[in-house]
Structure 1
Amino acid sequence: MNKSALTLALAVTLAGCSLTPDYERPESGMPERWVPAALQADTGKVASIPAAELGWQAFFRDDHLRQLIGIALENNHDLRIATLNVEAFRAQYRIQRADIFPGVSADAAMSRTHTPEAVNPLAAGTNTQYSATLGLSWELDLFGRVRSLRDQALEQYFASEAAQRSAKISLVSAVANAWLTLQADQALLKVSQDTLKTYEESLTLTQRSFDVGVASALELSQAKTAVESTRGALSAYTRLVAQDRNALTQLLGGPVPAELLEASSLGDDLLAEVPAGLPSDLLQNRPDILQAEHQLRAANANIGAARAAFFPRIGLTGALGFASGELSDLFGSNSDYWSFTPSISVPIFNAGRLRANRDYAEVAKNIQVAQYEKAIQVGFREVADGLAARATYSDQVQAQQNLLEASEEYYRLAERRYRGGVDSYLNLLVAQRQLFAARQQLIGDRLAQLVSEVNLYKALGGGWLADEPQS
């Protein structure tokens, strides 16, 4: 009995062995700091607060937008699926972890058998047996196979959590961009309505001038052309507004409250400032990069399980209980029994299956390394694009604002000259169209600027926190 205890203790000591390769994080190849070209000359402007710690409720300042995001986080189906995936991987990890510990079971049974005299005259009759047994089964994880599978399941669980955060970031940014697009299209619709009203008034005046012989048929035709083209634009923006609302309905997972769809100006107070220059290692806070790294760790652990499959598997099975022909004597002094059955399974020939499994695990790890490096490169580009957009959109929007003011002045002068009979209607029509185009372009540029800020916030790992600090 002492020898068995010593053997068991030795086996437990050897169970600390593992064939899983040591994990080494691949080189990221990223620069030391994220600094846009516009800030390289002035390092004092480099921010030190990561965007991941700027919660979306603080970043988005419009109350209607915050309410829409809150509804989406509660009802969006894609986010719900991601959350359920986390629960599923958590359960799988718990299942795999349970294999490390011994399995204990308690059983009770009663059996009655009748043997005819024609079969066995000496044992003929009806026999009854009662039993109560406590069973134990355990695989000695000498080479770390079970623990490697547990580690793999754990990393898959962590990867699913990162995927959930990534889905939340994507949802927050998608709702914000959809809402901003709706606001821009509503503004464009309003501009089209105002422009159409101006064109219709001009057509009425031109029609009167034509009726008295002052305006030519060409000028009348030009006025009609301007009206009809603007009506076409009005129909297009009406359609876009409806489609934008449908997109929000899908993202929110249900009807959108009408009061949250009211038109709002695309002003400078919609979004908070996103930190511009950040240490490059903060990209490790991006959930998609964390997800790729956890999947890489899972593939690394799977190699250990594949290697351990080449070695023997040792199992211990035991039972301790009572058996008696009478229920009243089941726990008597002479009814106890026990059994101990160690077993060992050694792979001898499997037509190369184990070697193929090991090769597959190593190839799968190399695939995950490539996926991890790709995730970093994607993050690098998204942040770089966002910083480049920030450095240029401000000047672009200001230039378009100046162009709009000049177009308004051009339109006023052209209208005054046409009404005074100094200039032709063609110059007035050109001024009207230029003013309409300048208004449209300014709204489009402002929308692109806001969307780029939202995308930069997302690229830097922000959006999955509310107002609580990052843990």
Structure 2
Amino acid sequence: MYLIRYSSTIFLFLLMLLGGCKPWQKLETATRTFIRPLPATFPASSDTANVAHVTWKEIIKDKGLAALIDTAVQNNWNLAIALQRIKAAQSDIFFSQGVLRPKVNGLVSSNLRRFGLYTMDGAGNKTTEIYNDRIIPEDLPNYFAGLQASWEVDIWGKLQNQKKAATARYLASIEGKNFITTNLIAEIANAYYDLVALDNMLLITEETISLQEQALEMIKAQKAAAAANELAVKQFETHLHNLKGSRLEILQEISLNENRINFLLGRYPQPILRDKTIINQEQPIKVNIGLPSALLQNRPDIKQAEYELIASKADVQAAKAMFFPTLNLNGSVGFQAFKTSLMFQSPESFAYGLFGDLLFPFLNRSAIKASFIKANTNQIGALYNYQRVILTGYLEVYNQMLVLKNLQEIYEEKSREVNAVNESTAISTELFKRGRANYLEVLITQQKAVQAKIDLVSTKKRQFQTTINLYRALGGGWR
């Protein structure tokens, strides 16, 4: 009867403890935020294939640029740091796996105890033989050599969820490295096309300087023949000095861009080998946009955010399990004696022990609740970040599509402008030689010709860069 009564009391006490372990029920409603779906298609696009599945070596045909990218993938410092993050995240998985298993340690210990004579142990030891008619000494040594084990039984899945979170963060670190790789390739390609465009702008400027020097000599000759005045000479000289200043600025930009590429390659300044004629080629590829849903699988930053969201959910489940009791099993087995010479006599010195603890969180529930609130808040933040990254990816693709389409039309107009201004330059120069046009008309026409040619090169460069940026926005480059 007493046994039933005490058992019932203990059972009710456990139910009260477990019944109070539900503070998350009011908090979990905050996580019920739905992910907004992506649009079914991109505007003005009917593609179903996606260029992101094509490797960057199939996209970039320029051998010089491909060699630079290969070097960067091997030597870039950001990638090297990302690889170390992956190793650190992998070690977290190993740690969480180890926590799930029982811990077994070799143990060698010694201690000395003296019991008070007016205690049960002390009084009993005073009259008890321990070995060969020898009474237990007042100062009692104790030596032990064997194995000690402990194991937290994962009843509520706390440790499993910690392992799941560690695994998800490991996968997120891999996607983070892939995202760095994608951006690195795009950044090197953009810098390379900047460099090639600057080379062509330098060539245009130097050709114009040569023509301007010839024109200056001609206007000086006309002045000597009283066919022109000093103002005309100074105007031509001013334009010539302006062109030479522009050339110096271009040379400076070339050096800065070379150093920018060298930094991405993880090396000190040195010349960058490049094909200066690539700017005159057609666009490297035809970009297939595909469906927006493909971004979820192809963009490393979206996959990274998804794994971070999975990890945060596992963190919430692990934090929830902290409200429940913890079952720990402890044991030891080995040899024990009060003298080292008797340590390994079997079975007399053989010893073992097995203990079980059921720990109920009671007074520290506020700390556990705070930990759960933090995990829950992090989960909501991870969800918002996931939706933000998806929206960012969609808009990047959409914007690059619009830019690429407009650049093609702009390039066609710029080509017509260059053809027209070349004809104007030839006509104005011929008229000036015959005295039917003044020097200002020649200067204005030359200035327009230089600017039109530079704008054409700049537009072509932007076409190449936008193609690469669209490829990156779709999630290409890391494969």
What's the TM-score, normalizing by structure 1? Answer: 0.86
1:31 to 8, 24, 39: 39
Q: Distance in 2 between matches of 1:87 and 1:96?
A: 14
Residue aligning to 1:404 = 418
- More moved, 362-371 vs 267-276: 267-276
Give the CA deviation at 1:64: 0.2
Residue aligning to 2:238 = 225
Is 1:426 the counterpart of 2:426? The answer is: no
Is 1:93 the counterpart of 2:115? The answer is: no
Give the CA deviation at 1:164: 0.6
Measured against aligned partners, the alpha-carbon deviations of 1:109-157 in whole angstroms (never above 9, x if no partner) come to: 5x48699xxx999656997765331222111111111112111111111
- More moved, 120-129 vs 285-294: 120-129
Q: How does 1:190-205 map to 2 (within 5 A)?
A: 190-205=203-218
Give the CA deviation at 1:198: 1.1
1:353 to 347, 367, 371: 367
Residue aligning to 1:213 = 226
Give the CA deviation at 1:179: 0.7
Measured against aligned partners, the alpha-carbon deviations of 1:217-259 in whole angstroms (never above 9, x if no partner) come to: 2321221121111112111111100100110111000046646
Contact 2:262 2:270 in 1 (8 A): no
Give the CA deviation at 1:274: 2.3
Contact 1:131 1:330 in 2 (8 A): no
- Counterpart of 1:103 in structure 2: which amino acid? K
Residue aligning to 2:318 = 305
Q: Distance in 2 between matches of 1:32 and 1:441?
A: 37
Residue aligning to 1:106 = 106
- Counterpart of 1:282 in structure 2: which amino acid? A
Q: Distance in 2 between matches of 1:259 and 1:167?
A: 22
Q: Distance in 1 between matches of 2:202 and 2:34?
A: 51
Residue aligning to 1:393 = 407
Measured against aligned partners, the alpha-carbon deviations of 1:374-401 in whole angstroms (never above 9, x if no partner) come to: 0011001100011112221111111111
Residue aligning to 2:259 = 246
Residue aligning to 1:281 = 293
Residue aligning to 1:67 = 67
- More moved, 235-244 vs 99-108: 99-108
Give the CA deviation at 1:108: 3.8
Residue aligning to 1:8 = none
Contact 2:323 2:365 in 1 (8 A): no
1:447 to 461, 469, 473: 461
- Counterpart of 2:180 in structure 1: which amino acid? A
1:341 to 338, 355, 375: 355
Measured against aligned partners, the alpha-carbon deviations of 1:166-188 in whole angstroms (never above 9, x if no partner) come to: 00101111111111111111111
Residue aligning to 1:9 = none
Q: Distance in 1 between matches of 2:438 and 2:111?
A: 114
Q: Distance in 2 between matches of 1:307 and 1:47?
A: 43
Residue aligning to 2:199 = 186
Give the CA deviation at 1:265: 2.9
Give the CA deviation at 1:314: 1.2
Give the CA deviation at 1:63: 0.1
With over 3 angstroms needed to count, the CA separation of the structure-2 counterparts of 1:257 and 1:56, relative to structure 1, is farther
Is 1:460 the counterpart of 2:478? The answer is: no
Give the CA deviation at 1:307: 1.1
Give the CA deviation at 1:263: 3.0
Measured against aligned partners, the alpha-carbon deviations of 1:30-74 in whole angstroms (never above 9, x if no partner) come to: 21123x42x4xxx4xx251x2231111111000000000000111
Is 1:56 the counterpart of 2:40? The answer is: no
Contact 1:130 1:327 in 2 (8 A): no
CA RMSD of aligned residues (A): 2.7
SS of match in other structure, 2:280: coil
Contact 1:386 1:456 in 2 (8 A): yes
Contact 1:58 1:272 in 2 (8 A): no
Q: Distance in 2 between matches of 1:327 and 1:54?
A: 74
Q: Distance in 1 between matches of 2:370 and 2:99?
A: 24
Contact 1:62 1:270 in 2 (8 A): no
SS of match in other structure, 1:143: coil
2:396 to 375, 382, 385: 382
With over 3 angstroms needed to count, the CA separation of the structure-2 counterparts of 1:243 and 1:147, relative to structure 1, is same
SS of match in other structure, 1:314: strand
Contact 1:61 1:272 in 2 (8 A): no
SS of match in other structure, 2:273: helix
Contact 1:128 1:326 in 2 (8 A): no
SS of match in other structure, 2:309: helix
Contact 2:143 2:343 in 1 (8 A): no
SS of match in other structure, 2:385: helix
Q: Distance in 1 between matches of 2:70 and 2:374?
A: 43
Give the CA deviation at 1:434: 0.9
- Counterpart of 1:80 in structure 2: which amino acid? A
Residue aligning to 1:10 = none
Contact 2:188 2:264 in 1 (8 A): yes
**Identity of aligned pairs, percent?**
24
Q: Distance in 2 between matches of 1:352 and 1:26?
A: 30
Contact 2:258 2:271 in 1 (8 A): no
SS of match in other structure, 1:265: helix
SS of match in other structure, 2:285: coil
With over 3 angstroms needed to count, the CA separation of the structure-2 counterparts of 1:114 and 1:430, relative to structure 1, is closer
With over 3 angstroms needed to count, the CA separation of the structure-2 counterparts of 1:341 and 1:125, relative to structure 1, is closer
- More moved, 195-204 vs 127-136: 127-136
Contiguous gaps of at least 5 residues in structure 1: 1-18, 466-471
Say how many residue pairs are matched. 435
SS of match in other structure, 1:347: coil
Measured against aligned partners, the alpha-carbon deviations of 1:93-121 in whole angstroms (never above 9, x if no partner) come to: 21122111111222345x48699xxx999
1:145 to 158, 163, 181: 158
Q: Distance in 2 between matches of 1:444 and 1:108?
A: 77
Residue aligning to 1:161 = 174
